Amino acid sequence: MHNSSEGPGAVAARLTGIAVTGERPLSSSLAEVTLDDGRVVMVKRGDGDRAARAEAAGLRWLAEAGTVHVPAVHGEDAGWLVTDRVPTGGPDAGSAERLGRELAALHACGAPAFGAPPPGGPEDAYIGLAPMRNVTGPDWPRWYAEHRVLPYLRGAVDDGTIRGAEAPLIERVCERLPELAGPAEPPARLHGDLWNGNVLWGTDGHAWLIDPAAHGGHRETDLAMLHLFGCPHLDRILDGYQDAAPLAAGWADRIALHQLFPLLVHAVLFGRGYAEQALAAAGSALKD
């Protein structure tokens, strides 16, 4: 067993096997560490006992596709993850369009099933600070209801963030998912937590993706996440995506449906404001 009180520098040295010459804390759970060979790595403390392993497995699964740019994993254990640092610049339209094409290619690499975890990744994983179970299901509407919407709805009702009288609105969306979901799609290889904060605009002209909650899912879910909190040059990302792999007709009308999951996760983590957004998204999804 390693020392649970060790700092980021000691972790980097242990997991990479390379001596450390400096470290710079960025937050209570993240630090930049300079290795003896001159490289700078990011050392991140996991939020749960499986979080680092889940994230490492997700990064490797995305990297294995050879499509999107993700930082290389240099080591992980139950509590820590060491990855490349991405030198960041500013967003630009060309990088955004490239990201759209790369996302389309990533999704097309597929997954064994809806809900499939990355190879070597735990079934009990995380999305941000919230637990997320990667349990498989045969069809997307039923799986999305059972394993992505209803568990967080129950959590939000249990802690009083969503009132009992409000829950049936979201339950109705789940009941109607087979007709609301659009044409059937094969399981896509998803980043899984693709909000603006997890897109880094590299100085190399590429967009880099970090902090995945990777699993097999519906490709429209990643794109709905990008819409949720806004993203620079989102129109160009979508242009690149549509050029590479056109989305099914009516996809824009299904954005609210795919945002239900992240909004409910946020309601559980951060409270009533997101619960109200989730209820609004449910109402929007039910409108023909």
- In Å, how far from its chain's centre is CA 275? 20
Residue 97 CB neighbour total at 10 angstroms:
21
pLDDT band at 166 (very low <50, low <70, confident <90, very high): very high
Residue 171 lies in a domain: yes
Residue 1 lies in a domain: no
Report the interhelical angle of 167-180 vs 150-158 (nearest 10°). Answer: 180
111's CB contacts (< 8 A; 6+ apart) are: 187, 188, 189, 190, 215, 216, 217
Read off the CATH number of the domain in which 40 is found. Answer: 3.30.200.20
Q: What is the pLDDT of residues 187-245, one digit of tens each?
A: 999 999 999 999 999 999 999 999 999 999 999 999 999 999 999 999 999 999 999 99
Annotated catalytic residue 193: yes
Decide if 165 contacts 89 (C-beta within 8 A): no
Q: Report the CATH number at residue 152.
A: 3.90.1200.10
Q: Does residue 163 belong to any structural domain of this protein?
A: yes
Alpha helices in the chain (DSSP H): 8-16, 51-64, 93-109, 140-144, 150-158, 167-180, 219-228, 234-244, 255-270, 272-286
Helix-helix angle 219-228:234-244, to 10 degrees: 170
Spell out where 16-60 has E strands. Answer: 20-25, 30-35, 40-45
Choosing from 84, 106, 136, the residue where a domain stops is 84
In this structure, is residue 144 part of a structural domain? yes
Q: Could you give phi then psi for residue 82, rounded to 5 degrees?
A: -120, 125
Q: What is the pLDDT of residues 167-193, one digit of tens each?
A: 999 999 999 999 999 999 999 999 999
Do 46 and 122 share a domain, yes or no?
no
Which residues constitute the domain of residue 53?
Answer: 8-84
Q: How confident is the model at residue 153 (pLDDT cuts 50, 70, 90)?
A: very high
Whether residue 2 lies inside any domain: the answer is no
Give yes or no for residue 2 having a pLDDT over 50.
no
With a CB cutoff of 8 Å and minimum separation 6, the contacts of 158 are none
Angstrom CA distances, 222 to 109, 183, 231, 278, stand at 14, 17, 12, 17
> Do residue 250 and residue 108 come from a single domain?
yes
249 and 197, same domain (yes or no): yes
Residue 288: pLDDT band by 50, 70, 90 thresholds? low
Q: Does 118 fall in a domain?
A: yes
| Pair (132, 251) in one structural domain | yes
Our CA dihedral for 160, 161, 167, 172, rounded to 10 degrees, sits at -160
Q: Is 134 helix (H, G, I), strand (E, B) or coil?
A: coil
Looking at the fold, whether 37 and 166 belong to one and the same domain comes out as no
Best CA proximity match to 145, nearest among 167, 168, 113, 177? 177
Domain finish residue from 84, 103, 127:
84
Q: Tell me, yes or no, whether 225 and 173 share the same domain.
A: yes
Total number of domains in the chain = 2
What average pLDDT does the segment 150-175 reach? 97
Q: In the prediction, which pLDDT does 161 show?
A: 97
Are 213 and 180 members of one domain?
A: yes
Q: What is the pLDDT of residue 33?
A: 95
Which pTM value belongs to this model?
0.94
For every residue of 219-249, DSSP letters joined together read HHHHHHHHHHS--TTHHHHHHHHHHHSPPPT
Question: Catalytic pick from 47, 193, 239, 243?
Answer: 193
> How many residues are listed for the chain in this entry?
288
Instruction: Please check whether residues 77 and 142 belong to one and the same domain.
Output: no
Instruction: Tell me, yes or no, whether 130 and 75 share the same domain.
Output: no
Q: Which of 67, 84, 101 is the last residue of a domain?
A: 84
Using one digit for the tens of pLDDT, what is the confidence trace for 85-143? 999 999 999 999 999 999 999 999 999 999 999 999 999 999 988 999 999 998 999 99
Band (3; pLDDT cuts 50, 70, 90): very low
| Longest alpha-carbon distance in the chain | 60
Q: Are residue 208 and residue 268 in the same domain, yes or no?
A: yes
- Residues 124 and 176 occupy one common structural domain: yes
Rounded Cα–Cα distance for residues 251 and 156 (Å): 27
Residues 135 and 266 in one domain: yes
